[in-house]
Structure 1
Amino acid sequence: MRQTKATLFLAGAIAALAFAFPAPLEATVTEQRPAQGQRDFTAEAREIERLAEQIVERTGIPGLMITIVQDDRVLVARGIGVVDATTGEKATPDTAYRIASLSKTFAGVLTGVLVRDGIFSWESRVSGFMPALRLPNEQGAELLTIRDILSHQVGVATRAFDRDIQADQPYPVLAARLGEAPATCLPGACYAYQNVAFSLIGDVVFAATGDFFHREVEKRLFHPLGMYSATYGRDALESTPSWARPHVRGARGWVPVRAQETYYRLPPSAGVNASARDMAQWLIANMGRRPEVLSTEVLESVHAPVVRTPDQLRSTTWRRDRLRDAHYAAGWRIYDYAGETLVFHGGAVQGSRAAMGFLPDRGIGVAIVWNSESPAPSGLLPTVIDRALGLPRHDWVQLDRLAADPALVAARGGRTQSRLNSGRGWPKKYPWQ
């Protein structure tokens, strides 16, 4: 149902009131307790919060935001460090960060909501909404379904046209060129991670609803969930009262840079900005604690594994040690993490990194986003998951080693920035995604 001007005004007024009377800067533990039979994770969450503080303090990275939730309780929602290394402005729980490919989870969930509402089905043919679409295989465009887009089974080579995105090519031009991309298989027959092809879902949503993709996310997800700092695009990020500048490594330390417009031109793939408070609400809703917005039917359809992704089993140390199997669902990765289901996604764009995951059977979730290209915070997520599962403690962060060798803190960022400067684009297998 389309919103009227009156309802849009009311939504705007509610959001304005939220900004006018914000919650306290430090997230507090509510008096509600965990579900019966589950242990309270508050003490572990506070310990990991302190570890996040130490990462920022001892490695010298600009900062990060961290959110840890249990069931419908926010245990931690913090902005740690600074939003800009040159000004020293402090991050808060309402500081907006660029969350990169974590944006894909919103595309998947919005699609599930539209399927529930009868707008289309998972098996709807994309050609019915985009008759001009061309894919390399002669039959490809006719076979492609909505589920294929959301599970990266479009049938074109991995990250098709990502270099062109980096070269500032507009999305409509690249989408029109998908027929020129190297073919890997027929749609639905194999997995290859995408950004341009994944963003076709935005065109489908527009054709099916008559409204822009980002507006559908705002009115069906952001507003009902109380994600008041969540926005789409660079202009919206820079208009937020507190927002984290991306940082790249320079000769004398971390240097703030303006967020590139490139991947922002692909809203379904990498367009979202959000705060620690916003990500807390997103995790809680995806764990089924906001059924009035995201029903069990929607969540089960979105989180259902679709295609195996064996490359994920060896992309980083914690994956090699902990993962037994890996799949892609609809905008989410589904891991078998030491015998437990972990619903996950990561993200990486210039100057920013992100990781998010939750254990649906334990009701514990975590999101970490940092405004630099350092790998230093990447061990926080497996640390949270290990603690939640009661696994033997493992030092995924290696803080002492990072603090003793500053070159390690910037190593990944320096190599990645070198690739970008040379025009080669992102590595084909980027561990955060």
Structure 2
Amino acid sequence: MCLVLICCLASCREQEKTIIYSEPAIIDTFDQELVVIENIDLALKVDSLFNEALKELQISGAAVSILDGNTAVLQKTYGYSDARSKVPLTTKSVFRIGSVSKSITGVLSGILFQQGKINFDEQVSQVDPDFSFYNSNYTKDVKLSHLLSHTSGLPYHSYTNLVEYGLPLHKIVCRFSEIMNLESPGNVYSYQNAAFAESGAVLSQKLHMPIQNIYKTFLFGPLGMKSASTSYADLKDSDNFAKPHKKIAGIWIPQSVNKKYYNAIPAGGVNASIEDMSKIMRLLLGNFPTMLADSTISILTTPTIDTKVRYRYYKKWENFDKSYYGYGWRIHTFKDPTTGVSDTLIHHGGQVNNYRSEIAIDRKNGIAICVLFNSYTPLANTVIPKLLEIVKAIHK
């Protein structure tokens, strides 16, 4: 079996094409200090939730940020960066955020779209000639918007195994032509990692810059995300990163950081602290319109495709109605059974290397929540509705 795999991998092009990269552009900086005015009632209730989780060994550690408009009403950490040596987490501790990277990529794409550097209707095969599908008629129809919304038409999780194997993305993408498409692009939702990560190749070709530089130049730098990065080396070299943990025999044991998904950065290779994520949430709440206007946020978070969920954890959230996907974001609708009034929440979760992450934005009420865990935990499945309930009770 190993020999077959090696032979198949060898069939892809051996070297990535040479791209002449331009120097990073100089753009405005929006690094305004986040005002933290802790709501005492809120803090007591949130403390109770996370301290109980620590006591019951549900989590090894967590970083939490809750925004109300442009103010953090809570930004703090619980537990340890290293449970063995009892090193506490701080709000600057860096986590891997897994598939929440897709939401970060959606935001980055929105910024570039607003600056006129890309178009969501970009034909992928025109930007990357090596991109092709089994059905050649579909190849020319795949747009950047299809990659960002999981509507390329590929089967569920196509070649995620090769992403986790560590194969360079360009060697994975050249094999899409070997897979029978489910449908034509735009007609079916099918979650992807490799195909979503191809969006980074499109951005890189359009801007003539490595994708890592694009994140730094157009998002991390301007927004003041000082701890955010996109590589294994950046995380390992950090002097304050949250070690991943696994519970063994009832004890949280620190684990090694692995390199999975750093070959597919847009899909799962972003590192960030809770302070960094607070800045993303401020952006999505409309506080920096010259960087990301409400009209652009609407494009990113307008339902593109019904995900028709059946077993996902968020389906169990109270009053859940439907879930859609936009550009890097899930869009959930909720319907009050008494009044029939609908509400909307944009959301994404992530999981990689014993890290879990959750982010949710209620733009209507100006509330944003992000929680980063450095262990897998069932609490991640319910933490967003639990925190929303606490926040809304305080608001009344």
TM-score interval, normalised by the smaller of the two chains: 0.7 to 0.9
Which of the pair is proportionally richer in helix? 1
Instruction: Answer yes or no: is 1:238 the counterpart of 2:236.
Output: yes
Confirm or deny: 8 A CA contact 1:149 1:201 kept in the other structure. yes
2:282 aligned partner: 284
Amino acid at match of 1:351: N
Structure 1 residue 213: deviation in Å?
A: 1.6
2:95 aligned partner: 97
Amino acid at match of 1:232: T
Confirm or deny: 8 A CA contact 1:221 1:293 kept in the other structure. no
Mapped to 1, the partners of 2:317 and 2:386 lie a distance apart of 15
2:37 aligned partner: 29
Instruction: Answer yes or no: is 1:337 the counterpart of 2:355.
Output: no
Q: 1:181 to 1:257 in 2, by over 3 A?
A: farther
Counterpart mapping for 1:352-431 below 5 A = 352-389=355-392
Confirm or deny: 8 A CA contact 1:165 1:263 kept in the other structure. yes
Amino acid at match of 1:381: I
Q: 1:137 to 1:107 in 2, by over 3 A?
A: same
Mapped to 1, the partners of 2:177 and 2:260 lie a distance apart of 21
Match of 1:328 among 325, 330, 337: 325
- Could you list the runs of 5+ residues in structure 1 that have no partner in the other structure? 31-40, 392-433
Mapped to 1, the partners of 2:279 and 2:376 lie a distance apart of 26
Match of 1:50 among 48, 51, 60: 48
Counterpart mapping for 1:165-314 below 5 A = 165-251=163-249, 253-311=251-309, 314=311
For residues 202-237 of structure 1, what are the alpha-carbon distances to aligned partners after superposition, in whole Å with 9 as ceiling and x for unaligned? 110111000112211212111221211111111111
Mapped to 1, the partners of 2:166 and 2:292 lie a distance apart of 36
2:19 aligned partner: none
Structure 1 residue 168: deviation in Å?
A: 2.9
Structure 1 residue 183: deviation in Å?
A: 1.8
Mapped to 1, the partners of 2:40 and 2:325 lie a distance apart of 30
Instruction: Answer yes or no: is 1:316 the counterpart of 2:316.
Output: no
Structure 1 residue 390: deviation in Å?
A: 5.1
Mapped to 2, the partners of 1:45 and 1:2 lie a distance apart of 45
The count of corresponding residues between Structure 1 and Structure 2 is 367
Structure 1 residue 315: deviation in Å?
A: 1.6
Mapped to 1, the partners of 2:377 and 2:180 lie a distance apart of 32
Confirm or deny: 8 A CA contact 1:232 1:272 kept in the other structure. yes
Mapped to 1, the partners of 2:160 and 2:212 lie a distance apart of 21
For residues 34-70 of structure 1, what are the alpha-carbon distances to aligned partners after superposition, in whole Å with 9 as ceiling and x for unaligned? xxxxxxx763354224312321233263201111111
Mapped to 2, the partners of 1:188 and 1:60 lie a distance apart of 40
Aligned-partner SS, 1:114: helix
**4+ runs of 1 displaced by more than 6 Å?**
none
Structure 1 residue 118: deviation in Å?
A: 1.9
Aligned-partner SS, 2:173: helix
Structure 1 residue 341: deviation in Å?
A: 0.8
Mapped to 1, the partners of 2:58 and 2:306 lie a distance apart of 38
2:351 aligned partner: 348
Confirm or deny: 8 A CA contact 1:79 1:94 kept in the other structure. no
Mapped to 2, the partners of 1:303 and 1:116 lie a distance apart of 15
Structure 1 residue 95: deviation in Å?
A: 0.4
After the TM superposition, which of the residue ranges 67-76 and 210-219 deviates more from structure 2? 210-219
The one of the two structures with greater contact order (alpha-carbon pairs below 8 A, sep at least 6) is 2
Structure 1 residue 132: deviation in Å?
A: 1.7
Confirm or deny: 8 A CA contact 2:167 2:263 kept in the other structure. no
Amino acid at match of 1:85: A
Amino acid at match of 1:327: Y
Q: 1:50 to 1:2 in 2, by over 3 A?
A: farther
Confirm or deny: 8 A CA contact 1:159 1:195 kept in the other structure. yes
1:140 aligned partner: 138
- Could you list the runs of 5+ residues in structure 2 that have no partner in the other structure? 1-21, 336-341
1:411 aligned partner: none
Structure 1 residue 388: deviation in Å?
A: 4.2
Mapped to 1, the partners of 2:239 and 2:264 lie a distance apart of 24
Structure 1 residue 291: deviation in Å?
A: 1.5
Mapped to 2, the partners of 1:70 and 1:320 lie a distance apart of 22
Mapped to 1, the partners of 2:293 and 2:44 lie a distance apart of 30
Confirm or deny: 8 A CA contact 2:108 2:218 kept in the other structure. yes
Mapped to 1, the partners of 2:220 and 2:349 lie a distance apart of 20
Counterpart mapping for 1:105-116 below 5 A = 105-116=103-114
- RMSD of aligned C-alpha atoms? 2.6
Mapped to 2, the partners of 1:255 and 1:238 lie a distance apart of 18
* TM-score for both structures, normalised by structure 2: 0.86
What is the aligned-residue identity percentage?
A: 24
Aligned-partner SS, 1:139: helix
For residues 131-187 of structure 1, what are the alpha-carbon distances to aligned partners after superposition, in whole Å with 9 as ceiling and x for unaligned? 121112221221001111100011111111112223333322211111223421111
Confirm or deny: 8 A CA contact 2:356 2:380 kept in the other structure. no
Structure 1 residue 277: deviation in Å?
A: 1.0
Confirm or deny: 8 A CA contact 1:314 1:320 kept in the other structure. no
Q: 1:241 to 1:266 in 2, by over 3 A?
A: same
Aligned-partner SS, 1:59: coil
Structure 1 residue 320: deviation in Å?
A: 5.4
After the TM superposition, which of the residue ranges 174-183 and 365-374 deviates more from structure 2? 174-183
Confirm or deny: 8 A CA contact 2:64 2:77 kept in the other structure. yes
Confirm or deny: 8 A CA contact 2:60 2:252 kept in the other structure. yes
Q: 1:45 to 1:314 in 2, by over 3 A?
A: farther
